[in-house]
């Protein structure tokens, strides 16, 4: 179920179209332009009241997973020091080609679990960030933790230091930010 007119509306339109095609092939019913009016979890089944084009319908299911929007988290990356502009909603402002007002800004965020520092994923934005993929895919393929990746030697001065700083931060010893 999606409130807007396509799946993953913040992604590329072709990605949305392809994802919808695959979901339909799997037999998943996708409701677009549909608003959740209410959720009643007081019985054996969960009842979800939805509306589309002025018509309400009650759907019954065993469980409901819900995600409502997102809030940008940009604090602690030094964006203010770099002069990067933010939108009214606090997200990084970019133009039609995904560029910030400060050229070039490379952004690397490595996501890890808090207990073992296992690398769960990464977000990369900026020029030549694809150069960072080998160390991250190697870490994923061999189940390396952020602590183990932080022991690697990264050339200086290079863009790869952004990954180094991210994993060092997770491991508890950032040195340059």
* Residue 169, CA distances (Å) to 92, 133, 173 in order: 21, 18, 5
State the Cα–Cα distance between residues 50 and 57, nearest whole angstrom.
5
Any alpha helices (H) in the chain, and if so which ranges? 13-25, 79-82, 133-141, 146-150, 161-171
Coil, helix or strand for 144? coil
DSSP code at position 9: T
List the catalytic residue out of 123, 156, 168, 173: 156
Q: What single DSSP character describes residue 148? A: H
Q: Which residue has the tokens 């700083």?
A: 165
* 123 in active site: no
DSSP state, residue 101: S
Please provide the distance, in angstroms rounded to a whole number, between the alpha carbons at the two ends of the chain: 41
Q: How far apart are CA 163 and CA 135, in angstroms?
A: 8
* Residues assigned a catalytic role: 156
């Amino acid at each position: 179920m999606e409130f807007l007119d396509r799946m993953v509306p913040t992604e590329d339109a072709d990605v949305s179209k392809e994802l919808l095609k695959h979901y339909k092939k799997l037999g998943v019913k996708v409701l677009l332009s549909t608003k959740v009016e209410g959720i009643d979890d007081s019985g054996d089944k969960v009842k979800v009241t939805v509306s589309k084009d002025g018509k309400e319908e009650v759907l019954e299911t065993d469980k409901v997973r819900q995600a409502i929007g997102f809030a940008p988290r940009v604090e602690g990356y030094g964006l203010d020091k770099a002069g990067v502009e933010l939108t009214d909603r606090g997200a990084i402002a970019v133009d039609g080609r995904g560029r910030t007002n400060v050229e070039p800004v490379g952004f690397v965020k490595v996501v890890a679990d808090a207990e073992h520092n296992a690398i769960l994923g990464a977000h990369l934005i900026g020029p030549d960030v694809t150069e960072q993929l080998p160390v991250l895919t190697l870490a994923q393929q061999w189940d390396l933790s952020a602590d183990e990746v932080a022991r690697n030697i990264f050339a200086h001065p290079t863009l790869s230091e952004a990954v180094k700083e991210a994993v060092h931060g997770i491991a508890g010893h950032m040195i340059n930010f």
